[in-house]
Structure 1
């Protein structure tokens, strides 16, 4: 559905460009020459342009509410395939790691797949020689103030 609506929108835009070219190359010169039929033809051309613009706006609104084909695939199918392809070519790691060292512990946060979208988060808390610590509670607060995202 998305692809068809996109093709319709592109066809309407092409039609609008064609209509503008017709007006510029044929109808406007005829109007300047004083052709008695030119004002009527130019008026109908403008009505046609308005119709094309309305069609473009409708197609654009439809695209905004129609999910692209990629979104219709089962969860993770495309993302996993993309991540695998990127990893094979050395473009993208399969996970992102962040280490934090404090006075009496070390924490390593791992995000998988480590890119935009849904990620799994694993937090390992250890002492300075790498032995796991038994902690009662771990809190992870995520934010991006530059993008207007408050702490989560």
Structure 2
């Protein structure tokens, strides 16, 4: 906000001076015009310096990344404004160091040329204002959401029903390498089932990998899991979980678990 205020005040001073300068160059004698123009120049130099510093600070904040100049609508409008602002600075430099000194030697002819240059500045300044209005209605890059990159899979989970029991099978992170295999077992009423023994067998026939069997120790009522189960390659792994729910009943659960890359 302070940068916006400083930038606005400097612009108001600079652009607001164009019409009075054009009028005095038309109505006042060259000697008086020279005095007033030089007086204006004394104020204009620090005002333009403040304008440039505030503008640079605002650009750095709003653009955030130089690549946004070419890749965003805001950056393209900003580029148009900067081109016009540079043209204004070039005209101001010509006025200060070339045309103004001629008021002393060339009189009315120099005043006419300087007045024409001021009129040109008015036109360019109008374009600057137009581009500034475009910036005010275009979201700057700093407000745009950063690109979202795909994260590694957080795991895979599926529900399997067999003989009235439901098993929630979860493999984490479901990528080649060490994984956690977890089974949550519930009965028909939804209550946890405490099995006497649970084991998991994982195979990938398409890659010629025979079943890898691991016991799943009990962690909590109805919860069985094992860490460090190695699944060496990606693919659709066939998982069989056997839950011995009593001395005489074993419930098999089968699921396909995709292991990503």
Does the pair score TM above 0.5?
no
Higher strand share: 2
TM-score tier (shorter): 0.3 to 0.5
